[in-house]
Amino acid sequence: MGSFERAMAVVQITLLLFGLGSWVLVEGVSRLGMRIVGGELAGNGSFPFMCSLQRSGFHVCGGTLIHRRWVLTAAHCLPIEEVWIGGVNRDVPAEFEIIPVKNYSAHKYYFLGSASTYNDIAVLELERDSKGRVVTLATNSKADEELSEQGNATAVGWGQASTSSHSAEVQLKQVSIPIIKFTDCLAFYQQLDGISLHLGYVCAGGLAEGEGTCFGDSGGPLLAGPNNVQIGIVSYAGPDCAQACLPSIYTRVSDYYCWILYASLQSLDGTGCEGFTEERVPNSTNINALSSGATCRVYDGQAIISYPTPSPPITPSASVQASPTGLSSSIGTSMPESREPNSTTSQGQGPGCFPGNAKVELASGRVISMFDLEIGDIVRVNAAHFSEVYFFSHRSPKARESFVTIETNASRTISLTGGHLLPRVDKNPISSRNIQVGDIIEGDDGSRQLVVRVRQFLESGLFNPHTRAGIIAVNGIVVSCYTEAVDAHLAHLLLLPERALRTLGISMLGTVLHQDRNGSQLSRMLSGTILIWYQYNSMARSQQL
């Protein structure tokens, strides 16, 4: 063992002695290992292929015997010095076949990051042949899915009996956990900031608190079916272990079956893996998977999963390439009252506006509706800033209009006309009529809000306040002050003279451009010009489509 490995071993032993052993140091990178939480003790001989992977005399990870000379585990467990095979009680070494590791190999494109891990798989070559029984591996996605459809799988490993424990269990444990659809798993993890899932994963657990993989059980197997076929390798258990609504993540064995044969120097002839190279992307059925849009909340320790109601067809329009930056506040809202479902498909064809009962937050902390908002009010535009409302392009309390209503996973609801621009996280802004379930928009507290439902309603009032920032927080969601009728940056630039004059107490546009037939003559002329421009653009887009 080299000096670097010795230093890592000393640090890890020190952490264990001071009760911090739940962190496993992997080649200088802090990495949460995982151990079984809940479950029950495994019987003697129940899992003869199970391996305890040892470094400096300590159990650090799990693994499985896949060939008389090879063991399968997770890449982040490396390096490993010794493998204990086939036993149950680690206090009785005589139960195990103990063999030193000759060599090990991780996937060429293994990557360990703070928000994602790719190709977390490795094989260990033993110094001599083992006499133990080998595990059966899932060889293809179809077989994998047939096993997964049976509902539950079994995770096996040594380790902590609870999240509060800091010492590994000496007795092998097993826990039965449900297999979670990958599309649902994507949806749950999208609710976490910055967490992404690689296509070569399978998810399990997370329907109840206190049962699943946790600190120290990395590299161990996820087994399915009556014959304990290995379908996964423990890789990641979320920000904390055994949490409801956060399934554990396992490297999907069937996606890497060819790599396993290739890395363990086994013949590829007749396996369907002929010509395999590590440059190949896993041939996964997850490759085109999209988030289901499901949301998950915890009630009395159990996960309650809700699915979005299918939204009505949305008329496509040209993509918008520009938008002022987004903003932030946490105004939790419920569904507005006095709303009528709209069966038409127009989805608010007029210029972008909000209904009268939409809410904004003033600098004083008071929350008011659009009906009560006035020129000169200072409203929230992000978590740290407020901006002055300097005019309304629409202010029509008596109007009845069709609005697109968007709901998020955090129960925030916003209604806006179909042409109004809505910023999206890490994507170009989009008109509300084109928003899709699964899009991520920004909350006014800086949070990532997952769109889970899109509907359409008729509501009262038609308001479009403009702030000096060009953005505004409405019902806890960051939105633009502009529409798809004119490029948002251009529109903001064209209104620069008005903003400058307002600073001097002068106005070219008056209070509003359109206010129930009131307003200046210039206001009405500009309102008519904007409406004609909007209709022209809409016709042009329709002809292009």
Domain boundary among 244, 265, 286: 265
In degrees, rounded to 5, the angle at the alpha carbon of residue 333 between the alpha carbons of residues 329 and 335 is: 150
Q: Is 415 a catalytic residue?
A: no
The answer to whether residue 337 sits within a structural domain is: no
Residues 239, 363 share a domain:
no
Please, are residues 530 and 484 in contact by the beta-carbon 8 Å criterion? no
Catalytic residue among 59, 120, 323, 393: 120
The answer to whether residue 44 sits within a structural domain is: yes
Residues 211, 109 share a domain:
yes
The answer to whether residue 198 sits within a structural domain is: yes
Domain boundary among 265, 281, 313: 265
The answer to whether residue 10 sits within a structural domain is: no
Structural domain that includes position 158: 40-265
Residue 62, domain CATH? 2.40.10.10
In degrees, rounded to 5, the angle at the alpha carbon of residue 269 between the alpha carbons of residues 268 and 273 is: 50
Residue written as token pair 């292009």: 544
Burial class from Cβ neighbours inside 10 Å (0-12, 13-18, 19+) for residue 255 reads buried
Catalytic residue among 22, 59, 67, 76: 76
Residues 218, 101 share a domain:
yes
- Domain count within the chain: 2
Q: Tens-of-pLDDT digits for all 545 residues of the chain?
A: 444 334 444 333 333 333 333 223 222 222 333 446 667 889 899 999 999 999 999 898 999 999 999 999 999 999 999 999 999 999 999 999 999 999 999 998 888 766 667 889 999 999 999 999 999 999 877 766 776 666 789 999 986 655 555 566 789 999 898 898 888 888 888 776 556 677 788 989 888 777 777 766 889 999 998 899 999 999 987 666 777 888 888 999 999 999 999 999 888 888 888 888 877 667 677 766 777 888 888 877 777 777 775 544 433 333 323 333 332 222 223 333 334 444 333 444 445 689 988 999 999 989 999 989 999 999 998 878 899 999 898 888 888 888 899 988 777 899 999 889 999 987 888 988 888 888 899 999 888 888 888 888 788 889 999 999 999 999 999 999 999 888 888 889 988 998 998 888 888 777 666 555 444 444 445 544 554 454 445 445 444 44
Burial class from Cβ neighbours inside 10 Å (0-12, 13-18, 19+) for residue 95 reads middle
The single-letter code of the amino acid at 51 is C
The answer to whether residue 228 sits within a structural domain is: yes
Q: Is 334 a catalytic residue?
A: no
Joined together, the tokens standing for residue 153 give 């799988």
Rounded Cα distance between 135 and 138, Å, is 10
Q: Is 120 a catalytic residue?
A: yes
Domain boundary among 265, 291, 306: 265
C-alpha distances (whole Å) from 306 to each of 193, 245, 292, 293, 449 are 20, 11, 10, 9, 16
Residue 409, domain CATH? 2.170.16.10
The answer to whether residue 370 sits within a structural domain is: yes
The answer to whether residue 390 sits within a structural domain is: yes
Residues 500, 396 share a domain:
yes
The answer to whether residue 491 sits within a structural domain is: yes
Residues 113, 237 share a domain:
yes
Catalytic residue among 130, 165, 218, 527: 218
Residues 377, 248 share a domain:
no
pTM above 0.85, yes or no: no
Q: Which residues, at least 6 apart from 155, have a Cβ–Cβ distance to it below 8 Å?
A: 36, 39, 174, 175, 177, 204, 205, 212, 213, 217, 220, 221, 222, 223, 234, 248
